[in-house]
Structure formats: C-alpha cells, structure tokens
Structure 1
C-alpha cells in the first residue's frame, strides 16, 4: 500500500512502507505472445495507477523490437475499452492535448526510434487503474533450425552529442517535466524524448513484468532455453508454453528466448495473404548450399571497440573477452588492427599488422589495458575506422564494431557508413549487454553489408566467435537477384536490394502484388566458387492467410524508406512513410495512435500532476560508468534536492521529471498568489549524457561536415551568400530574425542554388526540418546538413505554430 505524497524542497514522491520501492504510475506490464512458425503476435498490457491524491498524467518511455509492426493501441477504463486511431503524428498530438485540457482521459502512443516509444496517458483519477494495450507483429530471427524470440524491457541510457537547443522542453503530447539539463541538440533534436529518468542504485519501482509465450512451430520443438531469465516450460504435443519464473520479474533486461526445431521446414517457408490492399507474401529461405568449413580467405580485419562509460564493468569485460578470442581465431594470412573510442579515439597501430605471435601478443596486452570512461562519441570511431589506411588493396576489409549502441544520433552514424564505406568492405556489429541498442546494431550491419550479433554480458563467448568466423570465412550466396514470372504487375519486394548471405544465414523477403495474380518468384545468385544458384517459389494469394504478413510488408517498406533518409527527412520520403503507415495502420515516426474517452472524467480546472515514469538501470550497466563517482544510495533517493548538484551533475544532464500544476488562479486571486511558484520536482538520475566541453559543443567549424560553420569574417567576398528568398508562415520581423540567424553559416566556395525546407514550428521551437528535394537544386549533403542543423537551433517566437516553408538561395 502506498502512503501520502511527500512534498519537499526539490522533490515529490510517494513512499512505500519498505522505503526501498517508489510508488510511481506504472504498476505492471503483462506480455502475451503467440509464435506461429516464423511470426510472432504480441500483446503488451501496461497497467497505470494513480498513487497520488490529485489527477495524474503519466509519461513512459519504453522499448519494443526494432522491426515490430505496431498496429493497435487501446485504453481500458474499468469495463470500457477505447480503441485508438492512427493519425498523422502532429494531428494525434493536438487531439491528445485538447482532450487533456477538456478533462477527458486520453492515451497517446508515439515512436521516437524504431525501438523507442513514448506512451502518454492523461487524466487518471486519484486511485484509479487504467490499462494501455499495445499489439504488434514481428518476424523471428533464425539461422538453420535455431530460433530466437526477444522482448526488450528497458531503454538503456543514451549519450547525446551536439549543440544544445536552449530552453527546450519535451515536445509532442507528453507533458512531462521541463528538461532543465537533458536538452535537445542540433544532432539529436528529440533527445529529451529518448532518456527516461533512471532510479538510483539500491531503489526500485514497484513495476514488475510477466511474460507468457506460446510457440507453435508446426514441428517438434526442443532445447527451449533463456540466457537472460529464469523460465518455466511446459509441452503439449507440438505446442510449447513459456513463462517467466516468479523470481525474475524486474524489467531491467531483454528477454531472450531460444529454441530449436527439426525437419525440412527449417529450410524454406513461404507465407501468403490477400486482402483489399493486395496480395502479400513472406519468403524465408536458407539456401541449401554446401560450403567448405576449412576454407581460408585472407582478410584485413579492423576492430572498433567502445570504451565509453556505459561499457564500464561487465560489458567491457565481455568485449575484451570477445576481442581476445577474435585475435586468436584470425586466419594465419589475415591482417588486423584495433581502434578504441570514447570521447577520443586510440589505436593499436597506424597500419594493419600481420597475424604473427608477436603482434597477437601486443594486441592482447592492448586489449587487457582498456578502461571504460567518457562519452560515446561513436562518430569519431566510425570516421577513424572508415579512414584507416589500406596496405593491401587485394584484401577484403572487415570492420568489427563492439558497442552497446547507447547513443541518440543513430542516423548520423548510419549516414556516415552509408556514404563512406568502400565498395567490397563489410561492417559487422556485436552488442554486449543486457539491453543493447538493437536498432543501431542491426541497421549498421545491414547498411554495412554484414551481420549483427547480440551477446549478453554474462554469456560464454567461444561459440559466438567460432560461429562468426565460420560465417565470414564462408559467404555462400552473393549477387542475389529477384525475378517475377507471371501475369500482371511485378511485386514490390523488400529489402529492395537483397544482401549477400553467409553460412546458415536466411534470406527474408516481404512482397506485395497489388493485383493478387499468382506467379513465380525466381531467386538467383552466385554461390561460393562461382556456381550459379536458383530457387523458384510458386506464389498463390489466399484470403485465409495470416494478416500479419501484410503488416510486416508495410513495416519493411517503412524501414526501407527510412534507411534512405538517414541523412535527414525529405518531403517525398516523409509522405511515403506516412501514407504507408496510415494505409497499414502502423506506428511510425510520422504517425501516432491516440485514444480519447467520450466523457469528461475530471475537472480540468483542478490541480494535476504530470510524472515521467522512472526505469531501472539495465542489468550489468554501471551507475558510476554512466553518472560518474556520485553516491546514489541514500534514501529517499527519489526526492533528492536539485538545488545544489555536485560538479559532475552540473556538467552532465539530469532530468527533473515531474511537475505539480496547481489549480488555475481565478481572476480575483491576489497578485502575490499569482506570482508565487508551486512547482515541485522529482529529481531522478537522467542519462542524457552531454559534455559541455565536448568538441562538438565548441565553436562550429566549417571544415567539419555537418557542423554549422562560424560567422563569416569581413572581406570574404569569395564565399557564397545565403539569402532567405521567402518564408511562408512568417511575418517580416520573423523573417528578419531568421535571416540574421542564418548569417552564421559559412559556405564553401563553388556552391550555389536553391534549397526549400518545410519547418514544423510550435512553442518557440523548430520541431522538424524536411527538405523538399524536388524543389531544391543544391545536392551537396554537407551543405544541406549544416543548414538543417542551423534551422533546428533557430528560436522563433513562441506565438508561431504552423508549417513554415522557407526558400533559401546560395549565390556567389
């Protein structure tokens, strides 16, 4: 049982009798998953309860699988269920805010990243419970007969680089507390929406989780196991049921469930479905190609290892163990080097080293001396490894990245790899930890034409390393081509460019044929040794198929479109993603689910409290590594005053995540009362890690790609000028301020032409910058990125809430 709200200087919390658990709105999460063959259907029920004596808004940042097709959201109040509607994101936010102000109970589900989501729930009555139900489909990861089901439970702390956008608050529909220090930046303009407050060490919330998974693979299932959790397994013919053991219900690590199936069906699976949107299909193919396990191919391997603070302790030790095994498993003719990064980069050698006993010994010594600390400046590491010298052009370069991926600027990293990874080179990713950023690790490997591997910080490494080298030594199918034979139009298939396959790696394709006419899909490629490979699939679309196939095609299309926009939003891309998401009722970064009660449930003039739900630190991640040498064990830690933070917290970002809003003053209230402040803040540890002395926060440098250059010096007549030609939605004074702001951008000589941007402006912030590619003649990405970042940090008048179309001209 909870007790009363405590209000102290700088703090608001509800104390439980044991003084170790903090009563916050999220009470319980229930997960029900059904796995049929290669596809899972998952229902997540989040139970929120108002433990306070006043009306509550709860805001919860949480993860889901990075390729989940989220297609349903409901809120349940007592015996009433309100179905959410998919809307354009801004429209959904407006509906939510209006409902909140009217006193209606409302839920808003938004996507921040492919694997990070925000659930906002407004106007929960004191003592009331409300359920939010989220449903999604996902495609299981598998190799040969080994399947893996993953349910992530907590978002790890994200490092935030870039130039601060001052005075920001959380955007969108979540009315969480002001982000005093965990601020948005030009590189991560939504940083304040990525990092939930983290409970101090030694305390935990009452939130627990229960997971039930039902597996029907169509064939016998064996060796059901979890490296992450204690589980209970029951068998009923070909159906297996798995649930978490009672003692393992803290939501601080990914649930990883693995099992094996037997039979020929593990080789090829074809699923079809038809509805009013057309015929959809999924192909799961593991080419039955013999390969030589002892085949040795001379490689040049460059290892890039993350030594930032979040890797401190068990994650770094696991990466070091991986690295030692990597070095010892290299082929005799391989060359190698090691680069490590945090705030800066270091390297074992300036050029690749031959695989000799002496050099291996040097490498092991180097690995053993690595220490974790500092920020995750992954961009530095990626640039260092992409530009690392090549001494033998005949060798295939393999880059192996080891990181937890705890960053907020994922797209900047993906864009760097997309632009600069040399043809023929490959990038592989390894994540070591309990709750790593699977979105980044999976996507960087896809763009890098490699494979990704996730290993817990406490798992054995020998089998993982052995399998990795077996695969990269034996690429089995390259130059994959898809051809359609049949009447009518050809299907649209994703991925649009199928990847090369490695030993035991599946080819997974999702397709749509709008006319639903049957035909044949030919998959061809070149196998190891130059042998031509072909497999043909007969596709007939039936309305009785699994509806998840259509949703997964829509999700695959959105993923493909988003991969094309890692350098920044474009008008055509945003419209295509939005249209697909609305057609297939899918959550995306440009759509959101909103549900609103018909009746007014609270008096909107009454006082209310808005709380951002705190989360556990991911298992195995060091508090000291994230926050430095600061003690967090004194009770009640949740109510720590913010008036005198230690020097470390003055430099790193802390989130004050709950605000009490008093009832509105009447016009007759005395002026002294109206001027008083009745805000109380919960001070929680927030991991929006940023260093004020980081190079990226210093004076901008026009020579560094993507960094807004400094103001032009007088007399630089050869440097092009940037002019605001028009700005629909702004008056003359606002245009003048924008023009003055953009004067700080210095452009390289030789660039000229027009750029057209659409800006979403509200509450004194530019919320989104979208490039109209068709209307723009400037194509240089570094110039576009510099202007985009300058626009993001422009501070328009708070009264401006509109879509602003800005036309800029660059001329000598």
Structure 2
C-alpha cells in the first residue's frame, strides 16, 4: 500500500484559472566547469562503482497560454564562513516572475534544526529592505495587508525546527527579487571530524489523523498543508539549482576535506580553505555533508565568551579525556525498530538491511535482541528477546532480508510496540535502535511518547537512513532517549558507522554530568538544563548567560566508565571575550530549544510566552515569531489579477517516487487526480494553506491506527459527558457561535477518573481553529489523556466562515 495524496478542490479551481501545466521540456545548460582545484568525489557504496556525475541542470518549463514559462525560484546561493566550532551562513533565494500578472511565490525549505536564524532581507533592484522580527500573527497580518495594498512584501516563518516557509508577494511581471536569510550554527564534532551540514530539500511527510475539510490538514497534524510542498515527478526539473561556498578558517591547516554526498572543489590558502560544489552537482535534492579535520592535537576544551547589554554569554565545547573501556560492557537487551514504509522502497531499505546485518553480527555474546518493523502496522521477529546464538542470528538475518517497503510511516505504532515490549531482565540495559528516514508530520507526538514512556535506564539510538532525512526528529528522539543520533546515506559504507555505534552503545564514557558555577553574583542560565551523558569521542556543548557579566569558574563533574570521578574546571572571563554576536544568538537558540522540548506533549501559554520573549529579545526566528519586510511604495495594482505559486521541490535523492506516491493510477483513487502538479497552488490563508496535490487526505489514506491517547479514551467506558463536562465559560467568540461550540464540546467522550478545570486558548480565523494552548497556570487538570482528546477534537471544529477572534474556553470535568 502506498501513501495516497488527494488534490483539494481549491487546487483544481486555481489550475483552471491559469491553465493546466501538461507539457514539459528541458532546456540545455551552457554552463562550463573549471576543474583546476582538487575535486573530491562523494563516498561510494560498498563494493560499488562510483556514481555517474549528474548532468548540469537545465530548466523545466510549463505551457501557459501557448507560451513557455519558467518556474519562479531560479537559484539558491549559500555562503558560509566557519571559525572554530561556529558557522555563519547566508542563504540567498532568487525569485523571478515569468507571468504577465503580479506574482506571490511560496517556498517551503529546510535549514539545520538548531540554526539561530536572526536576519532576513529582500532586495529589489539596488534597494535592500530589512526584515523586522515580530510576533508571528502580527507579522502575518502586516504581510497580508501589504499584499492587498500592492506593496512588495516578504514573510519568513518557521513551521518546525528544520522546516521554514518563505512567502514573497507582489513581484512584478519579469521582475527578479532576492531574499537573503542569515543564521549561526554550531558544527558537529565527533571522533576528530568537524561536520558542516546544509539540508536542501524537505522530504515528503506521512500525515496521520482525520482530515480537516479539504485543506490537507488533520486533527493530528493541523499544519500538514504547511510542511508538504508539491513534489516534482521523476525525470522533471524546476530549473532551480544551488551553489554552496564554505570558507573554513580553523587557525591551522585543514585536512581530509571530504563529502559522502557531493563532489567538491577544494582550494587551500594558508590556514583558510575554500570549499565549493562542482557545477554538475547542484540539484537541491540531498543534504550537503562536509567533513574535515584540523592539523595538530585534538582540542580538549574550547570556551568562547561575548558580552553585550543583555549580559555575558559563553559557549563551551568540551571533549572529556576519558577512555572507552571494552572490558566493562554491561549486557544489553537490544530492540531494533525498522521503518519499512513506502518511502524506504529501494536503496534506503537495502541500506537499512545491510546495517542490520552488521548490527546483529556485532552484538556481544551476552546480549539479547529482537526486531520490530513498522509501517501501517507492526510485526516482530519474536515476542521476547532472543539470546545471541548463531541460530538466532541466522533467524534474524533471514527475517530482515525478507522485509519489503510498503504503507505509511506510522512511527508512533512502532514506538508504542517497543514501549510495550517485556521489560529487560535485571542487570541488563534496554537499548532501542531506530532506523528510519523520519518522514512524518507528527514529530512532537512521537517525541512526547518517548519522553513519557521510556523507562529509567533505557536508551534510544536513532539512525537516519537516506540523503535528506528528518534530522530534527532523529536528533530530538536521541536526546530525550539519552542516546545518540547518526545519519547514513543510502550509498555510504556501513562498516565505520556500525563500529562507531558499538563503541557508543557498549558503554557511555561519562554519565551523571553536573555543571556548577563558582563565582560572585547569581549563577548563569546554562542550556541544556540537564547535561546529557557523553559517548566515545563526543563533545559536551553548553551555552550560558550571566546577566551581571561577572567572571567566574565553570566546574564540570561526572562519572566515567568504571565508576571513576571526572572533574574539569574552566575559567570564564567576559572582559576578554571573543565579542562574537553569534555566541549570544546561539544561547538564545539553546534556550528556545530547551523550552520547546518541554512542550512536546502540548503547547502551554507560559511556554509559548517564554519562547516568544526570548526570540524577540535576541531577534530570532521561532514558531511564534517571524520576519517581515515591506516596501514603502505601492508597486502593483491593488485591484489587479495576481498569480500565486507554490514552489515545487525535488524528490530527495534515493527515495522512490512510487514508494511514496504510488503509480499515477494508485494516486488517482479516491478524490480524483492526486499526482502532484509541480507549480500551482491555491491561495494562501493565514489559518493554513493548501499546497497542491501533495496532501494526504483521510479518505484516500490507509487506515490510521489509534494513538495511545485515543486508545486510552476508548478503552475506558465513558459516562455521558453532559453530566460530567461543564462548559464554564467561553470568551472572545461571536455570541452566535458560542452555543454551537458549547454543544460540540459537551459531546466529547472523555476518560473517567479525572477531575478539575481545563483552560484552553486558541485563535479562530477563516473557518479554522488555530494553535491550541493549555493555560498551565490556571488549569488544575493537565493530564494528557484528557487534554489531548479535547485539543484534537477542537481541531476538527469548524466555525462559520468570517468568524475571527482569540478564544478562551474553561471546561470543568467532574
């Protein structure tokens, strides 16, 4: 069974007004490629020939009114400068209007999930318009008003930590406009390698839940339409290409520059090294992974400081000098959780199977293991862990070899199956090993389940398999699971990856890490609040802020392998700082991340306020803030015709189009044409926007398994709710709508055994309920088993069109 995508009716209407796009032609490229500097080829597969270089991209054109028209996003240029552990990156997107009418372009794209995005501007001719940081709803209103007035406007929003939307309104016919985004980020460092990653495409997400109207959104993923851009069919190109230049200033010579993903041109110049993509590898359909080493001995600790009006900020990168001890390995009970959904078809599943064979054969003699695979349903190798015997290993490998990719990525089913697995025997460490591309839309629901259900002492390790995996999901699962996260491309060798994994899983090198401050004044705010355990060759990364800028000593302690005590002290002096503003921005981003991690189980009013305040104070993009840039002058006729275009994206390299969308015949089942149409999308609305046919409608999707919360609610026989649930008050809503909402809420089936008040806040606009927040200060009932059922039901309530407002509802459960 494949994912099913249904084309909303609004899309059919829009396509009808601007002409069907039915014919495509590839325009040749005349770009030449100088090859004087060193060319570094991507890592090839085990025992496989090097892949044939991709031809330089041409342009994909659609037929409109008998004329060839190019798509609107022409080029993305990335310029990064790396100094030590920090990168500063500038991303410029060039949009062009090929139509006869003014254009609004909407582009969904990825950035690193921990990037501190602090700047956006648009350039019209020689004029640069700086973006302002605002609360998100305020920025949306400013943008919409400017769009209606005929002013050119840009709006940059964050949908997930790694998914962003750029909207650009009122581009004149034939006009070219550039949007520039800037961010700071920390480089990953492990095993002596620095790693710079730039993601290039948002992979297609599997969206569970019940459909909300024809928007493509569901009650589980109410913003699904904002994270699923239309995807180009195989063999077609949008003409959008990408250039990347990375300048590495390490202070010493850079060595072993390489990439498993792209061909590189490397130009050393003293202590600075310039790295660029070669011209035949510029299709934005895979993450750029750039790795290198620096000359000299491995640095044990790096401490950077910066001071400004908001206080003193510091960043710590510490690699403990602790040895891995192979003779003190704790027996493990390993549960492997394999993704066998449709997006794994072909190379990703083959790579997962290859990795699994290495994992199974690499287990220690006293370990036990089992395998669970998931798509729409879950199956397992055995009902209980198997001893690590030759016969059981052969049985496991045979099981892995026969797995097929099919169905939807119901990762929540797989996680719940693992949590329900029999507990590990006394003295054994339960380790969960997840292999997936992470292509799901309900990330928070899955992460919250691990937060709530993973037992003390258990660990979760995540492996992203593919060219453009969902790193946000994989990283956060590993963090809340007290494990590690790794990514392996579908064409990358598996031996080194599996060896590194066993060094990590067999024994963390530093646990019970504590960070204390010795000095005058109040202690600094340090993130993450709870320092993680460390594994072999893995650094501890901390960000701190001391409001009074008083210097002091940072003391880090922990328990090393074998029970030995570890201790390290670092002097923090703000008067002799690096004065790099990125340090302050990274602290702000670390605080936002920590606050968001506390809301995986549901957003709260206090949590949203804290994130918003931090983002505004440090001029950072977040899910609750946005950048907006507006031209002063009216540039197009406010009453004229406009085109609105959703920019299509490439299918990630190595992912099967048919594995995700099915054949054209499969995709057309249910509600008509469902094959993504690669250019045109319906009008944008502030309450959520349809994005063409790349949406999973519940009527066409495979059966959706119940979530844990929904299953609990049904498992407990409810009493009639009109005698238990009281609607205490509703404020902010049109009085005519209040009886309908009250009646709707009183019809809910809620589990018994709970008492207290639930206070919720949400917005209503264009017939949709927006983001729903729990007032955690006022509510006396906060259990997820109740609150999640109410929230999910509210997502499906459809007020009358034209009703707008901020709504506050107080419910009392007796």
Q: TM-score, normalising length from structure 2?
A: 0.89
1:459 aligns with 2:492: yes
Which range moved further: 343-352 or 543-552? 543-552
Residue of structure 2 equivalent to 1:623: 657
Q: Is the 8 A contact 1:312 1:371 kept in 2?
A: yes
1:171-570 mapped onto 2 (5 Å cutoff) = 183-264=216-297, 266-390=299-423, 392-542=425-575, 544-570=578-604
Which range moved further: 537-546 or 790-799? 537-546
1:731-742 mapped onto 2 (5 Å cutoff) = 731-742=734-745
Residue of structure 2 equivalent to 1:158: 205
Listed one character per residue, the Cα deviations across residues 359-398 of structure 1 (whole Å, up to 9, x for unaligned) are 0000000000000010000000000011111251320000
Residue of structure 2 equivalent to 1:149: 196
> Aligned-pair distance for 1:164?
1.2
Q: Is the 8 A contact 2:646 2:681 kept in 1?
A: no
Quote the Cα distance in structure 2 between the aligned partners of 1:509 and 1:771.
Answer: 30
> Aligned-pair distance for 1:708?
9.9
Listed one character per residue, the Cα deviations across residues 126-161 of structure 1 (whole Å, up to 9, x for unaligned) are 110000000000000001421100000000000000
Alignment match of 2:119 (pick from 39, 52, 72):
72
Quote the Cα distance in structure 1 between the aligned partners of 2:520 and 2:230.
Answer: 56
Quote the Cα distance in structure 2 between the aligned partners of 1:689 and 1:37.
Answer: 47
Residue of structure 1 equivalent to 2:84: 37
> Aligned-pair distance for 1:290?
2.1
Q: Is the 8 A contact 1:269 1:285 kept in 2?
A: yes
Q: Is the 8 A contact 1:325 1:465 kept in 2?
A: yes
Instruction: Evaluate the alpha carbon distance shift between residue 472 and residue 150 of structure 1 in structure 2; reply closer, same or farther with a 3 A threshold.
Output: same
> Aligned-pair distance for 1:474?
2.5
Residue of structure 1 equivalent to 2:38: none
Q: Is the 8 A contact 2:733 2:805 kept in 1?
A: no
Q: TM-score, normalising length from structure 1?
A: 0.90
Q: Is the 8 A contact 1:6 1:13 kept in 2?
A: no
> Aligned-pair distance for 1:687?
5.5
> Aligned-pair distance for 1:439?
0.2
Instruction: Evaluate the alpha carbon distance shift between residue 730 and residue 136 of structure 1 in structure 2; reply closer, same or farther with a 3 A threshold.
Output: same
Quote the Cα distance in structure 2 between the aligned partners of 1:325 and 1:468.
Answer: 11
Q: Is the 8 A contact 2:376 2:704 kept in 1?
A: no
Q: Is the 8 A contact 1:58 1:611 kept in 2?
A: yes
Q: Is the 8 A contact 2:713 2:785 kept in 1?
A: no
1:573 aligns with 2:577: no
> Aligned-pair distance for 1:166?
1.1
Q: Is the 8 A contact 2:726 2:811 kept in 1?
A: yes
Residue of structure 2 equivalent to 1:639: none
Alignment match of 2:767 (pick from 732, 747, 764):
764
Count of residues paired in the alignment: 757
Quote the Cα distance in structure 2 between the aligned partners of 1:248 and 1:482.
Answer: 44
Residue of structure 1 equivalent to 2:60: 21
> Aligned-pair distance for 1:218?
1.9
Instruction: Evaluate the alpha carbon distance shift between residue 717 and residue 186 of structure 1 in structure 2; reply closer, same or farther with a 3 A threshold.
Output: closer
Quote the Cα distance in structure 2 between the aligned partners of 1:797 and 1:391.
Answer: 53
> Aligned-pair distance for 1:186?
1.0
Q: SS where residue 127 of structure 1 aligns?
A: coil
1:124-135 mapped onto 2 (5 Å cutoff) = 124-135=171-182
Quote the Cα distance in structure 2 between the aligned partners of 1:311 and 1:241.
Answer: 35
Instruction: Evaluate the alpha carbon distance shift between residue 810 and residue 218 of structure 1 in structure 2; reply closer, same or farther with a 3 A threshold.
Output: same
Quote the Cα distance in structure 2 between the aligned partners of 1:683 and 1:752.
Answer: 41
Structure 2: 5+ residue stretches without partners: 1-13, 29-58, 62-69, 684-688
Quote the Cα distance in structure 2 between the aligned partners of 1:656 and 1:456.
Answer: 26
1:723 aligns with 2:726: yes
Quote the Cα distance in structure 2 between the aligned partners of 1:422 and 1:720.
Answer: 37
Residue of structure 2 equivalent to 1:47: 94
Instruction: Evaluate the alpha carbon distance shift between residue 608 and residue 289 of structure 1 in structure 2; reply closer, same or farther with a 3 A threshold.
Output: same
Instruction: Evaluate the alpha carbon distance shift between residue 612 and residue 683 of structure 1 in structure 2; reply closer, same or farther with a 3 A threshold.
Output: closer
Instruction: Evaluate the alpha carbon distance shift between residue 329 and residue 13 of structure 1 in structure 2; reply closer, same or farther with a 3 A threshold.
Output: same
Q: SS where residue 797 of structure 1 aligns?
A: coil
1:587 aligns with 2:596: no
Listed one character per residue, the Cα deviations across residues 749-789 of structure 1 (whole Å, up to 9, x for unaligned) are 22111111111111111111011011111122110000011
Quote the Cα distance in structure 1 between the aligned partners of 2:522 and 2:690.
Answer: 58
Structure 1: 5+ residue stretches without partners: 169-182, 633-644, 662-680
Residue of structure 2 equivalent to 1:11: 20
Q: Is the 8 A contact 1:212 1:242 kept in 2?
A: yes
> Aligned-pair distance for 1:264?
3.9
Alignment match of 2:143 (pick from 96, 101, 114):
96
Instruction: Evaluate the alpha carbon distance shift between residue 320 and residue 544 of structure 1 in structure 2; reply closer, same or farther with a 3 A threshold.
Output: closer
Superposition CA RMSD, Å: 2.5
Residue of structure 2 equivalent to 1:705: 709
Quote the Cα distance in structure 2 between the aligned partners of 1:587 and 1:648.
Answer: 39
Q: Is the 8 A contact 2:721 2:747 kept in 1?
A: no
Q: SS where residue 709 of structure 2 aligns?
A: coil
Alignment match of 1:658 (pick from 665, 668, 680):
680
Quote the Cα distance in structure 2 between the aligned partners of 1:562 and 1:8.
Answer: 42
